Amino acid sequence: MRSSPFLVESDSGGSRYTHLSASVSEEEDGYTVQVRLYNPAKPENAAWGEEIADSLETASMLIAALAAEFSIPQARINIEIRMHNMKAATQH
């Protein structure tokens, strides 16, 4: 199972992405992390990617690393989490 960071390169010194949208889906053997980096003012500047993570924590770290790399503030990050059984993943 691969859980290495996404590889997205920017042509210029500054980031052309201002927003990050991510979807984390629980699978049989881990979590699929799908991300989209984009700038609503320039829709042609968008990048998509998908990775497999072994845990929800690793998936979260991948998303956080992308946000940090492209200096995307928390207010511009949208994350959707899809679990088979939300109660089973809750610890008390």
Name the pTM for this structure. Answer: 0.75
Domains and CATH numbers, the chain: 19-83 (3.30.160)
pLDDT at 24 over 70: yes
Average pLDDT value for residue range 28-39: 95
**In the chain, what percentage of residues exceed pLDDT 70?**
75
Strand pairing class (19-27; 77-82): parallel
Please classify residue 27 by burial: count the beta carbons closer than 10 Å to its beta carbon, then call 0-12 exposed, 13-18 middle and 19+ buried.
Answer: exposed
- List pLDDT tens digits, range 52-70: 999 999 999 999 999 999 9
